Structure 1
């Protein structure tokens, strides 16, 4: 039996549904982070005592920096998921970009935007 070169259309559809659901959740999380950063919730300490505000500024700055980092990471994740959808459309999804072999389904279900097999990833160090 010859080794499969690509996933079938049915298999690609399964992965597409996984990616779409993860993408929807990722976009929602990203929007929540951006709303928090732009203070759309309105839960700020602007209307409380000045002393409290001074004490909170340091931790608020750190929290905003952490949130900005998380938002950037989330945006990168969204882009990776969108790129995976393009690979599905091109029927190149699930093919390791180093070895050219199929990435196992279990790995793609866990990390649907993966472009490397475990072997290729470990070889990169």
Structure 2
């Protein structure tokens, strides 16, 4: 049976940190887009020039805003999870499963860098 490493090497942690920092940059850009969409920052004031189907448009605008707010909330949670992952890198506990205390597979962390559970622990949930 292969020996279980206590933690990832500093080189591995640095690689994960770079992946996470890229994801944070992208997530912040996406969040800014979502927020500007539901805050109507991009509105050029042409709403009143086209009165046809106004109530229908207002309803769909409201639904779109609500959807964007929900997406923004999810994006904020994603950013929080990524920042928590950075903290785990700093204190060298990154990549250790909360349940099994074993290392989470590198492939999983590259795809889901904020993961705190191994596949094994996730399946047991």
Give RMSD over aligned pairs.
1.3
Instruction: Please tell me whether the aligned partners of residues 35 and 41 of structure 1 are also in contact (alpha carbons under 8 angstroms).
Output: yes
Q: Which segments of 5 or more consecutive residues in structure 1 lack a partner in the other structure?
A: none
Q: What is the CA distance between 1:54 and its match in structure 2? A: 1.7
TM-score, structure 2 as length reference:
0.93
Q: What is the CA distance between 1:14 and its match in structure 2? A: 0.1
Q: Which segments of 5 or more consecutive residues in structure 2 lack a partner in the other structure?
A: none
TM-score, structure 1 as length reference:
0.93
Partner of 1:102: 103
Moved runs in structure 1, 4+ residues, more than 4 A? none
CA distance in 1, matches of 2:31, 2:3: 43
Instruction: Please tell me whether the aligned partners of residues 4 and 103 of structure 2 are also in contact (alpha carbons under 8 angstroms).
Output: no
Instruction: Please tell me whether the aligned partners of residues 45 and 53 of structure 1 are also in contact (alpha carbons under 8 angstroms).
Output: no
CA distance in 2, matches of 1:121, 1:52: 48
